[in-house]
């Protein structure tokens, strides 16, 4: 029977053990609901599951294959050339495939707060002029062309998560001793929605730069530690769908026992009246027979 709690002990926080903080966990605390974060990782409450982005993942994989060809040849990808990035090529490293596996390994750093920080990166490039690494992430969506302009792209509220993602990856690589450029990139594969479907999707690929910032990461890690060590429940986020769902269900269910009791009361009265009427009819039937 489903009880809504996690089974694996390692998925809940224990201050005496190393606790894994993935990029997604970090973003969940920083951007979304601290109460849901607390309930999930302090008490093991399962979050509402989300559907996997299988089509997006397929596009990501195809982009990786495309950039890996250039990586092997040690040449810039066409998109780099189109953007004038002639001195940038995909970075070669023996641990690249490990860095790309967020669930098993990823790029890791053991923080002094006993947090194992991890992130699964899509790609890393290198500037041959400065010998600095460049953080890259792939996105596959369908947006208006004007939304792909950097000034518009980074003003979209849902893209705050991308900013955190790129900055968090930069932080991890720097903590592993790599020199990393402040400027990172999103490789955005934008699906064309204006053509009939003929067993294929057409994509327009664009490169969107972002100036990463790592100053907020250490204070956020301190806040996560303080939150998980505390016995006080944090306040829910005002726009948290999960908390709103729970509170709404609680209000609805509060009325349920009363409705059941009322229904039971009237059912009981109805059955009692039926039994009484039946007894009265039987009584008069017997009385009539005795008279005759």
Q: For 143-161, how does the pLDDT look when each residue is reduced to its tens digit (9 = 90+)?
A: 888 888 999 999 999 999 9
Please give the Cα distance from 66 to 284 (Å, whole number).
94
Domain-embedded: residue 121: yes
What is the domain count for the chain?
2
pLDDT digits (tens, 9 = 90+) for 23-45: 999 999 999 999 999 999 999 98
Residue 173 vs residue 10, higher pLDDT: 173
Domain, as residue range, for 78: 52-215+224-229
Whether residues 270 and 160 share a domain: the answer is no
Same domain flag for 168 and 260 = no
Does this model's pTM top 0.85? My answer is no
Q: Are residues 199 and 109 in the same domain?
A: yes
Lowest mean pLDDT among 115-119, 131-135, 232-236: 232-236
Same-domain status, 286 and 176: no
When comparing pLDDT for 282 and 70, which is higher? 70
For residue 255, pLDDT over 90 is answered with: no
**Is the domain of 105 the same as that of 209?**
yes
Same domain, 105 and 195: yes
Q: Are 160 and 256 within one domain? A: no
Q: Please tell me whether residues 194 and 269 are part of one structural domain.
A: no
On whether residue 37 sits in a domain, the answer given is: no
For the chain, helix, strand, coil in percent to 5 are 50, 20, 35
Encode pLDDT of 172-217 as tens digits.
999 999 999 999 999 998 877 666 666 666 677 889 999 999 999 9
Q: Does 234 reside within a domain?
A: no
More confident residue, 163 or 102: 163
Q: Is residue 9 part of a domain?
A: no
pLDDT value for 38:
94
Assess if residue 168 is contained within a domain. yes
Contacts of 42 (CB under 8 A, 6+ apart): 12, 13, 228
Compute the residue count for the chain: 292
Does residue 40 form part of some domain?
no
Q: What percentage of the chain reaches a pLDDT higher than 70?
A: 80
Residue 39 lies in a domain: no
Same domain membership, residue 285 and residue 176: no
Do residues 80 and 90 make contact, with C-beta atoms less than 8 angstroms apart?
A: no
């Amino acid at each position: 029977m489903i009880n809504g709690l996690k089974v694996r002990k390692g998925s809940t926080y224990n201050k005496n053990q190393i606790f894994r903080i993935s990029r997604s966990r970090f973003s969940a605390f920083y951007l979304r609901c601290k109460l849901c974060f607390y309930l999930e990782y302090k008490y093991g409450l399962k979050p509402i599951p989300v559907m996997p982005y299988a089509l997006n993942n397929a596009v990501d994989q195809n982009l990786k294959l495309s950039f890996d060809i250039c990586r092997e040849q040690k040449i810039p990808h066409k998109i780099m050339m189109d953007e004038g990035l002639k001195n940038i090529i995909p970075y070669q490293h023996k641990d690249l495939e490990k860095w790309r596996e967020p669930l098993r390994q990823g790029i890791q750093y053991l923080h002094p707060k006993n947090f194992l920080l991890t992130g699964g990166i899509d790609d890393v490039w290198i500037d041959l002029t400065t010998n600095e690494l460049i953080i890259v992430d792939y996105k596959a969506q369908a947006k208006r062309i004007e939304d792909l302009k950097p000034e518009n792209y980074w003003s979209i509220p849902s893209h705050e998560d991308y900013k955190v993602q790129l900055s968090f990856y930069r932080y991890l690589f720097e903590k592993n001793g790599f020199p990393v450029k402040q400027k990172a990139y999103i490789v955005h594969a934008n699906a064309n929605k204006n053509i009939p479907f003929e067993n294929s999707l057409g994509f327009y690929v664009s490169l969107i730069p972002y100036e990463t910032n790592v100053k907020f990461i250490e204070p956020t890690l301190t806040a996560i530690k303080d939150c998980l060590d505390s016995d006080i429940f944090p306040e829910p986020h005002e726009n948290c769908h999960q908390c709103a769902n729970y509170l709404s269900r609680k209000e609805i269910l509060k009325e349920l026992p009363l409705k059941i009791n009322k229904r039971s009361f009237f059912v009981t009265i109805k059955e009692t009246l039926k039994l009484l009427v039946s007894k009265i009819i039987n009584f008069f039937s017997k009385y009539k027979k005795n008279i005759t």
